[in-house]
A and B are shown apart, each in its own frame.
Chain A
Amino acid sequence: MQRRLMILALLAALAVSGAALWTLNRSVPVANPSVNIGGPFRLVDHHAKPVTEADFRGRHMLVFFGYTYCPDVCPTAMQTVSEALDMLGKEAGNIRPVFISVDPDRDTPDVLKDFVANFHPSLTGLTGTPEQIKEVANAFRVYFGKVKPEGAEADEYLMNHTAGVYLMGPDGKFLTLFSHNVPPEDMAAKIKKLL
């Protein structure tokens, strides 16, 4: 019950951030921000290979938006995903975990390759042009913005960004959203129910 409330709260927060994004970027109108999560994308993976949403159909997708310069929440969330997949054992084969960078300027495929190597072997890192990243973030109602702390050098900026893990169905439809700090065993149990 508590978890259901939390998911509702997360969805509400998502709707709010989605609405905020919508007002910022009217080129992607959203009829109902809380329902239409996900959509087509064109990106490159951590081997610099171009990919689209079609490459991920047929299996569930676990999607997290983040940036590799972030040493705190992003690796923690990826660790949670990795542990949840380990707990799912064989069933994890039906899931594609994906890390989509909201920092394409610094997150080149090479940088992503080093980053994903730290986590579950099935993890794919995706990046793209700033325009492509904006599109996929809009599709997932993900907010992101650069923050340059006082006295920071040009490459030392930080990013504010929506931090949740999306579970998408084999048809690309949104199934559920996990908080970035969900315990891995809870994530695994929920995924098992939804597979």
Chain B
Amino acid sequence: MKTRVFLVAALMLAALSLSPKTFAADITVSDAWARATPPKAKSAAAYLGLKNNSGEADQLIAVKSAIAKKTQIHRTSMENGIMKMGRVEGIDVPAGGMAMLKPGGHHVMFMGLKQQLKEGSHFPLTLVFAKAGEVTAMVKVMKPGGMGHHHHH
């Protein structure tokens, strides 16, 4: 019974969704956002949630975009009160689990930004997974001081 309710709900959600990737995709991307940047900014960061709908562990291994010379997977870490930010090999997305890219932790780093990120605009970001392959998400540009406090509907 419970499964049936769940299935119906899932089907309704799928039907309602405008995004085709919700259909049976192994990886779902949610709430992809980036902070708006000042006009001449040379860097930016994007954040998002990853949900692995498959029964197999996966890993985000690369990121691609047209908005910057370099698009990389980064992590910010603190050691003895000192902030360090650097590139990481990948981000694990456990089977049936989530991985969150959020301020102060993992993020998609854009270096050599080619365009200003203006509040309210969107840009495509391609995420490459070891198993699920490429998934493209639209990143929403939020206000410059934004923290990504999303309202969940």
Contacts and interface: CB of A to CB of B under 8 A. Distances in A.
Interface residues of A, number: 37
A47 to B, nearest CB: 16
Contacts of B78: 163, 180
A79 B144 CA distance: 9
Interface in A59-118: 68-73, 75-76, 78-79, 82, 111, 114-115, 117-118
B82 interface: yes
Contacts of A160: 82-85
Given A118-B38, A155-B42, A79 B145 contact: yes
Contact of B80 (A17, A114, A153): A17
Contact of A162 (B38, B45, B83, B112): B83
A149 interface: yes
Interface string A162-195: 1110000000000000001100000000000000
Report the interface size class on chain B.
35 or more
Interface string B24-48: 0000000000011111111111000
Interface string B100-139: 0001100101111000000000000000000000000000
Interface of A: 10, 13-14, 16-17, 68-73, 75-76, 78-79, 82, 111, 114-115, 117-119, 143, 147, 149, 152-153, 155-156, 158, 160-164, 180-181
